[in-house]
Every structure is written in C-alpha cells, then in structure tokens.
C-alpha cells in the first residue's frame, strides 16, 4: 500500500443556503492520479479551490503528508511551503497567464521566489524542454502562443515549484481534441518521470479514463461513488454515474433515453 500524499476529510463549504461541498473525503496516493468528476454545480471546483488554498472550508481538513494546511498561511515561509505542496493548472490557458509577462519572465519570477540560488536560465530551459516547448518560446508573450502551448507554459510554471501534488482544474477542457491528446500524454510522461501526484478536476469521463487510477464522482456537493477508475467506469453502481457514462455521445446513442433517465433521477 503506497503512502498517502494528500488527504481530504469531511470538507464542508456553504454559500448562503447552498451546500457547495458536503462531507467530502478522499485520499490521493503518493504519485497517484485521482479524478474528481462532476457537472457544473457538483462542487468539484470549490473542492479544488479549498485544496489549493484559494478558499477555506467551513469544516473539515486538507492534509498533506499528514500536516494540516486548512488554516490561512502565516508569513512568507509558510506561504512558500504551502505553494511547494500543491500547485494548480487552470482551465483557461488564455486567462491564467499575465498578458504582459513573457514565458521566461513568468518562470523566472516563480524560480526567484522559491529557488533564489539556482541557475535560472538553465532551469527555465529544462522546464520548457520538459513540457515540450523549445527555447524559442522563452521570449514569447502569451498572446503569441496557441491554447495548447499556453497550457504547457502553465504546466511548466507549476512544475517549477516542484510540488508534491498538482491540481488540474479542467486543464484540457478548452483545448482541441488533437492538442488535448498531446497535453494528456505530456502529463502522463511527467508523472512517470517525477512521481508527482495529480488531482484531475473534470466533467469529461474520457479524460478520467485516460489519465487517472482512481475516481470520485460528485453531485450536488456530495460524493456519490468512488473507486478504481477501471472498475467504476466498467460497472458503475450509482445511477448517476451510469447516467454520466451513458451521456457520452457515440454511434447508436439515444439521447431521448438519457433525457428520460436524467429526469427520473
């Protein structure tokens, strides 16, 4: 049994009267890959924001290597330590980079903050190489890059911190199919090389099938099913998981039946 790197216990978050996240618990194994699947309003994004520290839960804990990181960070040292635990790649590659900052400057800024003493130019070259971008990209501004290239830059920037866990919030949802495949393969390569843990927040069961070991299915803020990805996708036990699976379009697909099933649920 591999060690647990990230553990979330009984998270709760309420916005007004809406329970956005309700008693959510799961664990991510060292070097593992966990998918959180759900539709809009399922609470998956709120869960992700709590885990990375952009939001705080009303109750429950986020533990990394057994240490609590739920409270607000105190001081610079703790802030940096938190950042080295968990990094995040956001959905929209067009908005998650500062439009005024070149690729190189963005990476250097992060390296200066976390590793002031290393050779930054060399590390930047290494990082760009690791995400499959040539040195040509170093001087480019985000608007000169395609969606896939920007997402690679965002991944490089997250890797620069050398985190234990990377949260990917719909990180490939905005990309075209052919580019999405490139980025998913890249992420799989990086996990093999570095042993980093992934938390994939997604609505796309195809992505889950491809890149996760375990999966958690969320609906209305609660976990309705969880288990090994292969098992959950092959033999879903909860009707909602089944509905999600059936909703994926394929030849011979009957949308009417799904619509009926959705109303029945």
Partner 1 sequence: MTLALTRRPGLARLRAARQPLYLACLGFVLLVVLAALLAPWIAPSDPNAVDLGNVLAGPSAGHLLGADTAGRDTLSRLLIGARTSLIGPLGVVVFSTVAGVAVGAAAAWRGGWLDSVLSRSTELVFAFPGLLLAILIVTVYGEGLLAPVLALAIAYLPYVSRLTRSLVLTERERPYVAAYLVQGHSSVQICLRHVIPNIAPVVLAQSTVNFGYALIDLAGLSYLGLGVPALTPDWGRMVFDGQTAIQRGYPLSAILPCLVIVLTVVAFNVVGERWADQVARRDR
Partner 2 sequence: MTRTLDIKSLRLRLPDTARPVLDGVDLHIAAGETVALVGESGSGKTLTSRTVLRLLPKGAETEGEVDVAGENVLAMTPQQLHALRTGRVAMIFQDPRAAINPLRRVGDFLTEGVRLTGTLSEQDATRRAGELLEAVGLSGAVLRHYPGQMSGGMLQRVMIAAALMGDPVLLLADEPTTALDVTSQAEVVALIGELKERFGTGLLFVTHDLGLAAAISDRVYVMYAGRIVETGPAEALFADPRHPYTRALLDASPRLIEPGRRLAAIDGQPPDLRQELTGCPFAPRCRFATGLCTTQAPQPQAAPGAPGHLAACHHSDRLAEGAADA
Interaction site with partner 2 (CB under 8 A):
39-40, 146-148, 176-182, 184-185, 188, 203-207, 209-210, 229-230, 233, 243-244, 246-253, 255-256, 258-259, 262
User: Residue 144 CB, nearest distance to partner 1 (Å)?
Assistant: 15
Angle at 64 between CA 228 and CA 157, to 5 degrees: 90
The token pair at 84 is 């080295």
Give the nearer residue to partner 1 in terms of CB position, either 104 or 110: 110
User: Residue 203 CB, nearest distance to partner 1 (Å)?
Assistant: 18
Q: Can residue 232 be called a binding residue for partner 1 (CB under 8 A)?
A: no
Give the nearer residue to partner 1 in terms of CB position, either 25 or 101: 101
Which entry of partner 2, partner 1, none binds 209, CB below 5 to 8 A by partner kind? Answer: partner 2
SS3 206: helix
Q: Can residue 83 be called a binding residue for partner 1 (CB under 8 A)?
A: yes
Neighbour-count burial of 19, counting CB atoms closer than 10 A to its CB (0-12 exposed, 13-18 middle, 19+ buried): middle
- In whole angstroms, what is the distance from residue 55 CA to residue 76 CA? 18
- In whole angstroms, what is the distance from residue 57 CA to residue 79 CA? 18
Q: Which of 67, 74, 76, 256 binds partner 1 (CB under 8 A)?
A: 76
User: Residue 91 CB, nearest distance to partner 1 (Å)?
Assistant: 8
Q: If you write DSSP's letter for every residue of 55-79 in order, what string do you get?
A: S--SEEEEEETTEE--SPP-HHHHH
The residue assigned the tokens 């001087």 is 139
SS3 228: strand
Give the nearer residue to partner 1 in terms of CB position, either 113 or 245: 113
Give the x-and-dash track for 90-109 against partner 1 (CB under 8 A). xxx--xxxxxxx-------x
Partners of 165 in beta bridges: 86, 197
Which entry of partner 1, partner 2, none binds 185, CB below 5 to 8 A by partner kind? Answer: partner 2
Q: Can residue 61 be called a binding residue for partner 1 (CB under 8 A)?
A: no
Q: Can residue 202 be called a binding residue for partner 1 (CB under 8 A)?
A: no
36-58 burial string, b = 16+ CB within 10 Å, else e? bbbeeebbbbbbbbbbbbeeebe
Footprint of partner 1 on this chain (CB under 8 A)? 52-54, 76, 79-80, 82-84, 86-88, 90-92, 95-101, 109-110, 113-114, 154, 157, 161
């Amino acid at each position: 049994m591999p060690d647990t790197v990230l553990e979330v216990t009984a998270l709760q978050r309420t916005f007004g009267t809406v329970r956005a996240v309700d008693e959510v618990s799961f664990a991510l194994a060292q070097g593992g890959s966990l998918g959180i699947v759900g539709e809009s309003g399922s609470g998956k994004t709120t869960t992700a924001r709590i885990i990375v520290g952009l939001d705080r839960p009303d109750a429950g804990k986020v533990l990394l290597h057994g240490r609590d990181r739920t409270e607000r960070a105190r001081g610079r040292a703790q802030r940096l330590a938190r950042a080295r635990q968990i990094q995040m790649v956001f959905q929209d590659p067009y908005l998650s980079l500062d439009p005024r900052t070149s690729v190189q400057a963005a990476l250097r800024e992060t390296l200066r903050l976390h590793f002031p003493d290393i050779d930054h130019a060399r590390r930047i070259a290494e990082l760009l190489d690791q995400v499959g971008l040539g040195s040509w990209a170093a001087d480019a501004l985000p608007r000169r890059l395609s969606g896939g290239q920007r997402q690679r830059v965002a991944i490089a920037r997250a890797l620069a911190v050398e985190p234990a866990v990377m949260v990917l919030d719909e990180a490939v949802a905005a990309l075209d199919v052919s580019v999405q495949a490139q980025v998913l393969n890249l992420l799989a390569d990086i996990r093999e090389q570095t042993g980093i843990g992934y938390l994939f927040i997604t609505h796309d069961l195809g992505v889950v099938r491809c890149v996760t070991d375990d999966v958690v299915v969320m609906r209305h803020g609660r976990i309705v099913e969880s288990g090994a990805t292969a098992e959950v996708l092959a033999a879903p036990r909860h009707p909602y998981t089944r509905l999600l699976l059936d909703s994926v379009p394929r030849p011979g697909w009957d949308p009417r039946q799904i619509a009926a099933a959705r109303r029945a649920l």
